[in-house]
Amino acid sequence: MYTLDVNVARTESHSPLWVDRGLIEKLPELISPSKYSSFVVVADAGASKAKDRVCAALSVPPTRVLSLTGGESQKNVNELIHLWEFFAEQKLDRKSLVITVGGGATSDLVGFAAGTYMRGVAFLHVPSTLLAQVDASIGGKAGINFHGIKNLIGSIAQPVGVVIDIDALETLPEREIRSGFAEVVKHGLISDRAYFDKVTARDCMRWTPDEMVEIVHRSCEIKKAIVECDETEQGPRKALNFGHSIGHAIESFALAHGPALTHGEAISIGMYGEAYISYRVGKLSLADLTTIDTGLTAAGLPTRLLKSIPAGELRALISKDKKNVGGQVKWTLLERIGSAVFDVVISEDVIGESLAAIQPGATHPC
């Protein structure tokens, strides 16, 4: 079992993060249940097996379990009210523990609801998707979507712990594994060349559960280090946004117009687009850009859109990104595989070229 402590200076919080197989059954040893006055479990529909395991491990009765649909559409004000009402009905107090079981949309929504209820009730994440295990459950970001913009309302509050049980991925659909793997590859791209080479050496569906323990652990180490030095995203945490300016625009367009794309598919294409920008502005070598294109493809992730999206639509969505400052898009780019730079402003021409580079069938520069 790997244990990492996520130590955040601002709030003097120390959140343990555990990674292994079969960890849910060890919950009573990991979280010292006697510290808490009561537990409630909030789980999404995709995590029913993990939820049953959590309830069995901590003897949580069905009356103290709330089920959510899961997915981005649940991240709204009405669901937030629903959760606060559930917490009130369950008579949570300042010593209660809210346990989230599910994907990133569930840890985002429930973490925000718990973090604001009674000015903050403790919450523990048991992520059941790869995306939540390597990204959403670490670092305390929580929130809901508002006015069509992802995570526009939210907070940063650290969970009391994160229990990453790789066996929870057993029932995850292949497309969701691939989606989470895009964030794994991103961790290599922004901070560890050797890790990028390792995780792009084969199709991501071919890693065994034991190998996934190692991979998820390394991703968590990378994210932990970034969060610890910049919890509130004033600087280095922006590296985690690599691929997300173009990726979020693709994701928003696909959500509104189809065909459906997972977060990771959109981010993978976004990473190629933003690596292309990095190359075009002279920061990234052509050799590295080529390695990123072939590496993402070898891992079984897309680098071009399957169906064309008009560049004008993508530009409009990029300009609405909440990461923009003073009307300017601040880009996170690569200076080489394994090292990111942030807050870069680039010309409209280069953005246009990168949006052409991700269209279906676009050829790689030579």
Catalytic sites, residue numbers: 119, 141, 183, 223, 233, 237, 241, 244, 248, 263
Pick the piece of the chain touching ligand GLY (CB under 6 A) from 35-43, 133-141, 158-166, 308-316: 133-141
User: Nearer to ligand GLY by C-beta: 176 or 293?
Assistant: 176
Q: Does 141 bind ligand GLY (CB under 6 A)?
A: yes
| Dihedral, 45, 50, 56, 60 alpha carbons, nearest 10 | -50
Pick the piece of the chain touching ligand GLY (CB under 6 A) from 135-143, 187-195, 203-211, 330-338: 135-143
CB 128 within 8 A of CB 46: yes
User: How many of the chain's residues bind ligand GLY (CB under 6 A)?
Assistant: 5
Neighbours of 110 (CB within 10 A): 31
Pick the piece of the chain touching ligand GLY (CB under 6 A) from 54-62, 134-142, 147-155, 348-356: 134-142
CB 142 within 8 A of CB 155: yes
Q: Does 263 bind ligand GLY (CB under 6 A)?
A: no
User: Of 199-258, which residues contact ligand GLY (CB under 6 A)?
Assistant: 237, 240
- Whole-number minimum distance, CB 233 to ligand GLY, in Å? 6
User: Nearer to ligand GLY by C-beta: 240 or 284?
Assistant: 240
Q: Indicate the burial class of 92 (C-beta count within 10 angstroms; 0-12, 13-18, 19 or more).
A: buried
Going by C-alpha positions, the residue among 323, 320, 324, 312 that lies closest to residue 348 is: 312
Of 139, 154, 180, 188, which lies in the binding site for ligand GLY, with binding defined by CB under 6 A?
139
- Whole-number minimum distance, CB 171 to ligand GLY, in Å? 24
CB 151 within 8 A of CB 322: yes
Q: Does 75 bind ligand GLY (CB under 6 A)?
A: no
- Whole-number minimum distance, CB 240 to ligand GLY, in Å? 4
Of 135, 192, 231, 321, which lies in the binding site for ligand GLY, with binding defined by CB under 6 A?
135
Q: Which residue has the tokens 């990771």?
A: 264
Going by C-alpha positions, the residue among 152, 78, 160, 92 that lies closest to residue 126 is: 160
- Whole-number minimum distance, CB 347 to ligand GLY, in Å? 26
- Whole-number minimum distance, CB 141 to ligand GLY, in Å? 5
User: Nearer to ligand GLY by C-beta: 185 or 240?
Assistant: 240
SS3 content of the chain, % helix, strand, coil (to 5): 50, 20, 30
Long-range contacts of 319-325 (CB under 8 A, 24+ apart): 320/149, 321/245, 321/248, 321/249, 322/149, 322/150, 322/151, 322/152, 323/238, 323/241, 323/244, 323/245
Sign of CA dihedral 179, 97, 159, 18: negative
Binding site for ligand GLY (CB under 6 A): 135, 139, 141, 237, 240
